[in-house]
């Protein structure tokens, strides 16, 4: 079993920056895929960004491309999501998700591909 914990959410103003962190513990493998998803009230959970354990490739939703950056620190067991130029429409509960293997590129954006999920952290962008 793998446990995931998110941290770093909060209330910020439009245009601000915020960083989220996802820490994995338990029976983790060296090969993994981690993604961030978000869910706004009344909406379905949507893909935000993904990264594999190699760290060489990253994927982003069009709505966050150029504003969000996903990165990983294997030594610390963390995957981070740095968010800048935040907008009101970025308001949501953000979840990290993990699979202890390589997820094929065509499936990275599917919630069904991930076995482990964090509890979520609220990000609110409001003036």
User: In terms of DSSP bridges, do strands 10-12 and 121-125 run parallel, antiparallel, or are they unpaired?
Assistant: parallel
* 46-100 per-position pLDDT tens digit: 999 999 999 889 999 999 999 999 999 988 889 999 999 999 999 999 999 999 9
Reply yes or no on whether the pLDDT at 110 is more than 90: yes
Mean residue pLDDT of the chain comes to: 95
């Amino acid at each position: 079993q793998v446990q995931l914990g998110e941290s770093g959410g909060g209330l910020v103003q439009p245009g601000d920056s915020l960083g989220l962190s996802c820490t994995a513990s338990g029976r983790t493998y060296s090969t993994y895929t981690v993604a961030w998803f978000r869910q706004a009230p009344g909406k379905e959970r949507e893909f935000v960004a993904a990264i594999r354990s190699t760290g060489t490739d990253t994927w982003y939703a069009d709505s966050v491309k150029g504003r969000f950056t996903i990165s990983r620190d294997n030594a610390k067991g963390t995957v981070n999501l740095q968010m800048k130029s935040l907008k009101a429409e970025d308001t949501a509960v953000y979840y990290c998700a993990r699979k202890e293997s390589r997820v094929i590129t065509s499936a990275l954006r599917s919630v069904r591909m991930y076995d482990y999920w964090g509890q979520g952290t609220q990000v609110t962008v409001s003036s």
